[in-house]
Homo-oligomer: A and B are copies of this chain.
Amino acid sequence: MGRRLFAEFLGTGLLVAVVVGSGIAAERLSPDDTGLQLLQNSLATVFGLAILILILSPASGAHFNPVVSLADASLRRRTGTGLPVPLAAGYMLAQFTGGIAGAVLANVMFDVPTELATADRVTTGHLVGEIVATAGLVLVIFGLIRTGRATLVAPAVGAYIGAAYWFTSSTSFANPAVTVGRMFSDTFAGIAPGSAPAFVSMQLIGGALGLAATLILFPAPTSPVR
**In the assembly, how many copies of this chain are there?**
4
Say if the beta carbon of A205 comes within 8 Å of chain B: no
How many interface residues does A have (CB within 8 Å)? 86
A166-B25 in contact (CB<8A): yes
In the complex, whether A213 has a CB less than 8 A from a CB of chain B is yes
- In the assembled complex, the CB of A169 is this many whole angstroms from the nearest CB of chain B, namely 4
Write out, one digit per residue, whether chain A residues 207-226 have a CB within 8 A of any chain B CB (1) or not (0): 00000010011110010111
Q: Which residues of B contact A147 (CB under 8 A)?
A: 58
- A39 contacts across to B, CB distance below 8 A: 36, 39-40, 43
> Please, how many angstroms separate the alpha-carbon atoms of A146 and B20 in the complex?
30
Q: A24 to nearest B CB, angstroms?
A: 8
**A161 to B188 Cα, complex, angstroms:** 21
A156 and B54 contact, CB distance less than 8 A: yes
Q: In whole Å, how far is A121's beta carbon from the nearest beta carbon of chain B?
A: 13
One of A27-35, A79-87, A93-101, A179-187 contacting the partner: A27-35
Measured in the bound complex, the distance between the Cα atoms of B129 and A108 in whole Å is 9
A35 touches B44 (CB 8 A): no
A148-192 at interface with B (beta carbon < 8 Å): 150-152, 156, 158-160, 162-170
What B residues does A110 contact at CB under 8 A?
125, 169
Instruction: Given contact pairs A7-B217, A17-B132, A18-B163, enumerate 14 new A-B contacts (beta carbons under 8 Å).
Output: A14-B136, A25-B166, A25-B169, A33-B33, A36-B36, A44-B166, A46-B47, A55-B156, A58-B147, A58-B224, A105-B128, A109-B126, A109-B129, A150-B226
* 25 pairs, A vs B, C-beta closer than 8 Å: A17-B167, A18-B163, A18-B167, A22-B166, A28-B35, A30-B34, A30-B35, A35-B37, A35-B40, A39-B43, A43-B162, A48-B163, A48-B164, A51-B159, A51-B160, A58-B147, A58-B222, A58-B225, A58-B226, A105-B128, A109-B125, A109-B126, A111-B124, A111-B169, A158-B159
